[in-house]
Amino acid sequence: MTMRSTFLALLEGQAQHGYDLKRAYDQHFGRSRPVAYGQVYTALAKLLRGGFVTVEPGEGDGGPDRKIYKITEAGVTDVQRWLDEPEDPEQYLQSSLYAKVISALLTGRSAAAVLDVQREKHLEAMRELTRRKRTGDLADRIICDHALFHLDADLRWLEHTATVLHELAGQVRR
């Protein structure tokens, strides 16, 4: 899900060859684990079938890897929908959130809005947990507290990221 959306976001930034797409993905998201060519082409094929991208023949020798992929209107809308939808507050969601932030920056959208939406989702969850905790017994409280502390940590990270967005944007666009 995330990889597919990030490809779309990368293509929204710039129409490009599958090979370049892989390079760009590796640069922004695949630091520790580069994506395989096969995955890139499978994903692109799916997007092509869904109508989110189109293919233009490249100039040169016309080999399959010389095709240029370009995002469609539907693709742009899909990226937007993806960014607008907050992740479910669960543990270890930084990878997908990170992907969203970078994608927003790459596509010139508001990364802060991404974070805000996520913040609110988190807070909503925390409010719910606090309500449950205040009516529940001790066991409930302890369980709720565990979740609350984790959500709190996520929120802090969100908050912190929000303050460095500007700097991050500079790096991503370089």
Partner 1 sequence: MSALLVAEGLHKAYGKTVALAAADLAVRAGEIVSVMGPSGSGKSTLLHCAAGLTRPGAGLVRYAGQDLAQLTDVRRSALRRREFGFVFQFGQLVPELTAVQNVALPLRLDGVSRRAAERRAAGWMDRLGLADKAAARPGELSGGEQQRVAVARALVGGPKVIFADEPTGALDSVAGEQVMDLLNDAARDTGAAVVLVTHDSRVAAYADRGIVVRDGRSFDPAGVR
- Min separation Cβ 87 and partner 1, Å: 14
Token match 């599958």: residue? 18
Residue type, 122: H
- Min separation Cβ 73 and partner 1, Å: 22
- Min separation Cβ 150 and partner 1, Å: 11
Other CB atoms within 10 A of residue 111 CB: 24
Q: Which is nearer to partner 1, 101 or 155 (CB)?
A: 155
Q: Which is nearer to partner 1, 62 or 139 (CB)?
A: 139
- CA 86, 153, 148, 115: dihedral to nearest 10 degrees? -20
Q: Which is nearer to partner 1, 32 or 163 (CB)?
A: 163
Q: What is the distance between the alpha carbons of residues 51 and 161, in angstroms, rounded to a whole number? A: 34
Q: Which is nearer to partner 1, 127 or 173 (CB)?
A: 127
Other CB atoms within 10 A of residue 61 CB: 7
Residues 6 or more apart from 112 whose CB is under 8 A from it? 162, 165
Applying CB under 8 A, which residues contact partner 1? 84, 112-113, 116-117, 119-120, 122-124, 126-127, 129-130, 134, 148-149, 151-152, 155-156, 159, 162-163
- Min separation Cβ 101 and partner 1, Å: 16
